[in-house]
Amino acid sequence: MLFDRGVPDCIAYARQLGGDPEPCRKAAALYRYEGAVLVARPWEAIYTTDEERRMTFAATLPFQRLIEEAYLEAGYELTEIPRGPLHERVDFVARFASR
């Protein structure tokens, strides 16, 4: 099963917004996912903003570091989705999910 976001994301959001990440850390310890997590790192060539996604590409870079740090601190193994054509990325995710 794949999830777009996980509990450790709330740790990164708390840090980004100046909140207390401790409740999120406790929740991340209680509500675990599989140990390996896919990471889609910011990719400027395909990045766009819209009404829902307002963060600039430049702003995504430090936030991505917060996200990855939160998952690593929560004990997850990160696997980057390689850049490439969409069908190759889809195939990679499908292979990852079926293992």
pLDDT tens over the chain, length 99 residues: 788 889 999 999 999 999 999 999 999 999 998 899 999 999 999 999 999 989 999 999 999 999 999 999 999 999 999 999 999 999 999 999 998
Task: Retrieve residue 1's tokens.
Answer: 């099963």
Burial track 74-91 (b if 16+ CB lie within 10 A, e otherwise): bebeeeebeeeeeeeeee
Is pTM beyond 0.75? Reply is: yes
Q: Give the pLDDT of residue 13.
A: 96
Q: Give the pLDDT of residue 73.
A: 96
